[in-house]
Each structure stands twice: as structure tokens, then as C-alpha cells.
Chain A
């Protein structure tokens, strides 16, 4: 059974640009969550999508957005990139977003220069 697939694995962008990251969950999983991991702030929750609807949102500015498609694949977008957006972005999927824990992908390493 395929795991959670995140593309691309690495990305370098310039300040002010925008970026779109993709996440394909495990087949049958309808919940997709996104996390940002940085050395200073650790792992922080961005948002969660379930059946194409944003169900939960973390404390990030509006430059961070996402969406989920009917096949449960999810994208997150960051507009007007800042140096501080450099991070590992992890996607996690679960069957219904609750108690069995999440299966994570290997992340997208975003570097903003």
C-alpha cells in the first residue's frame, strides 16, 4: 500500500514568489493535515482538510492557504514568500482525522532565498 506522497521533495524560491506544494494521501484516507517544521519553532499545525473542506486551521497568516480535491489530494500554497517561510512542510493523512494517529509523508524542504 502506497504511503503519503509529497512533491516536490526540495524547492528553492525567491522572496516574494509564491509556491504550491502537493500531497497525495494514502488511498481511503479523507483527512489531510499540514505541518511546518523549523529548527526554531518546531512542528506547528497549519491546517486540516476533510472531504474537501478546511476543518481546522492553525495560527498562520493568510499567505498560507490550502485546498483538497475530490480524490483527497491536497495542495498548500504560500504567497509572497518570506525568508522565515524556509522550512520542512509535512503532510499527514488519516482515515477520518482522529484517533488512530496520522501517517506522514517525507516532506517538502522549502528554501526561500
Chain B
């Protein structure tokens, strides 16, 4: 079974700083996707960024980028020029492409951006 671990329960940075959230996962599969989701107080899970395991190039979406280390099974999220609106819970998630296509989530990191 796949597992996803986020080792930082909480993080806090000043506005405009850069912050990196850590995620490691465990799987024996080779074809999978990795995601970062953001959950603000509104409760809706919002997709931030996704990475296909077969791609070596790290995904980027504006201020959000990932550092995907397949051999190390590591998938960290970097937020540049952080904004107050980035304050939220961030969840790392794994989805296998074979078998049951379900998201396996980490426990989340509560990120606070301070003015």
C-alpha cells in the first residue's frame, strides 16, 4: 500500500518570503501522479500543482514549483513570493495509475503567511 508522509505539521513565514513544504511517499509502482492540494478555511480542496512520475522535469505553476526526486521518493513544494492568500492547509497526494485510481493523502501542513 502506498503511504504519503508530510513531516511538517505547521509552518509560518513572512509575506514575500519563499517557503518549502516537504513530502515523501512510499510505493513500489512506477507509474503514478503526485499532487499538491491547498485547503483554505472555505474547506474546498484546490489543486495547486501536479507531477507525472515519468517526467523528469519539475512542474511549475506561477509561484509554485516542485522538486521531484523519484529515486528518493520525495516531492517538495516551493512557494515563492508568498502571499497572505497562501495561508491554508497543504496536502501532498499520490495516485497510482494502475489498479484503484484513488488519491492517497498525507496528513497535511498548516501554512501561515504573516503580514
Contacts and interface: CB of A to CB of B under 8 A. Distances in A.
Interface of A: 3, 33, 35, 42-43, 45, 48, 55-56, 58, 88, 90, 92, 97-107, 109
B103 interface: yes
Contacts of A92: 45, 103
A42 B103 contact: no
B72 interface: no
Contacts of B44: 3, 104-107
A55 B107 CA distance: 25
B102 A103 contact: no
Grouping DSSP codes into helix (H, G, I), strand (E, B) and loop, the A interface class, with mixed when no group exceeds half, is strand
A99 B97 contact: yes
Contacts of B97: 98-99
Interface stretch (B10-18, B22-30, B46-54, B78-86): B46-54
B108 A98 contact: no
Interface residues of B, number: 23
A90 B97 CA distance: 22
Contacts of B46: 104
A97 B101 contact: yes
Contact of A42 (B33, B101, B107): B107
Contacts of A109: 43
B91 interface: yes
B50 A43 contact: no
B104 A88 contact: no
B42 interface: yes
A97 B100 CA distance: 10
